[in-house]
């Protein structure tokens, strides 16, 4: 039992961090970081054009700031609308995208010609995020929503540099699951009206393990036997690269040898 625990412990004893979730969150936020709305007069002329602020913040925290009454002793400024925020809701394993865990990504190790960099296949997860749009009138909200929805059918693909050390680029599908609408105004003139649009998204991300250094295979040998006790050898097969010091990115041939013992 102690040997089994020891093996499991050594699997998790490597420190690494690729910033996978952080990269996904930044990429998601950048999608909505350049949304503008316009205010027009009765003649249809643009009177105001301004960028909608975006922040990472929970919905309840933003609502509390919106509903907060100004206080001369409080240095915090009341939140102005329109505004957007987003937050992580959950993270769950996605078995539908699972591939063989023994598959590896490999890259040439420039520091040592006898080693290569290798990394096992990633583990797929779904990252669920909500985007909130807070406005005080319908037209502002409709302008923002109309600038978002056409790009999701229902997904939009981003590209992330997942593992710079191996030059791995990942497609990051951002899937729009639903759009909800809520009006927080209840008729009290002392309470600011806040119309809230909630857009629920799923990000298909991959989590990668550590990068290992492994030797380059330049020679393989296979022995074929006719019995379970491995006493009656029938054939031997040997393959080597030529030249023997060939590198993964160089031109090389294979030299094969077959030996029969019958």
Reported as a single tens digit per residue, the pLDDT across 38-59 is 988 888 888 889 999 999 998 8
pLDDT for 72: 46
Q: Spell out the domain ranges in the chain.
A: 2-213, 218-260
- Tokens 């929970």 belong to which residue? 58
Rounded distance between C-alpha atoms, residue 138 and residue 67, angstroms = 18
Which of the two residues, 194 and 111, has the higher pLDDT score? 194
78: Cα separation from own chain's centroid? 34
Is the domain defined by 2-213 classed in CATH 3.90.870.10? Answer: no
- Tokens 């961090």 belong to which residue? 17
188 pLDDT exceeds 60? no
Q: Is 84 exposed, middle or buried (0-12, 13-18, 19+ CB in 10 A)?
A: buried
Which of the two residues, 203 and 107, has the higher pLDDT score? 203
Kindly report the length of the chain: 262
* Range 154-180 average pLDDT: 92
> Where do the H-state alpha helices sit in the chain?
2-11, 20-31, 59-67, 138-148
Quote the strand ranges of the chain, DSSP E.
Answer: 36-40, 46-51, 54-56, 83-93, 104-108, 115-120, 123-135, 155-163, 168-183, 195-207, 212-215, 219-225, 233-242, 253-260
DSSP lists the bridge partners of residue 255 as: 240
């Amino acid at each position: 039992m102690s040997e089994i625990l020891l093996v499991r412990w050594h699997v998790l004893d490597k420190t690494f961090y690729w910033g996978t979730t952080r990269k996904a969150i930044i990429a998601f936020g950048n999608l909505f970081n350049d949304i503008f709305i316009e205010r027009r007069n009765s003649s249809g002329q643009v009177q105001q054009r301004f960028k909608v602020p975006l922040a990472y913040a929970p919905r309840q925290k933003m609502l509390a700031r919106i509903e907060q009454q100004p206080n001369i002793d409080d240095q915090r400024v009341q939140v102005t609308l329109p505004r957007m925020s987003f937050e992580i809701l959950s993270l769950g394993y996605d078995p539908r995208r699972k591939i063989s865990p023994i598959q590896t990504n490999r890259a040439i190790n420039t520091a040592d010609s006898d080693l290569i960099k290798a990394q096992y296949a990633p583990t797929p997860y779904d990252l669920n995020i909500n985007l909130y749009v807070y406005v005080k009138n319908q037209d502002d909200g409709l302008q923002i929503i109309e600038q978002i929805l056409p790009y999701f059918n229902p997904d939009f693909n981003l590209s992330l540099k997942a593992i710079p050390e191996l030059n791995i680029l990942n497609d990051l599908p951002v899937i729009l699951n639903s759009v909800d609408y809520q009006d927080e105004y209840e008729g009290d003139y002392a309470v600011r009206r806040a119309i809230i649009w909630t857009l629920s998204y799923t990000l298909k991300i991959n989590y990668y393990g550590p990068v290992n250094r492994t030797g380059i295979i330049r020679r393989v040998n296979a022995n074929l036997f006719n019995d379970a006790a491995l006493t009656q050898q029938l054939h031997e097969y040997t393959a080597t690269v030529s030249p023997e010091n060939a590198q993964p990115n160089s031109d090389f041939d294979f030299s094969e040898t077959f030996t029969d013992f019958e």
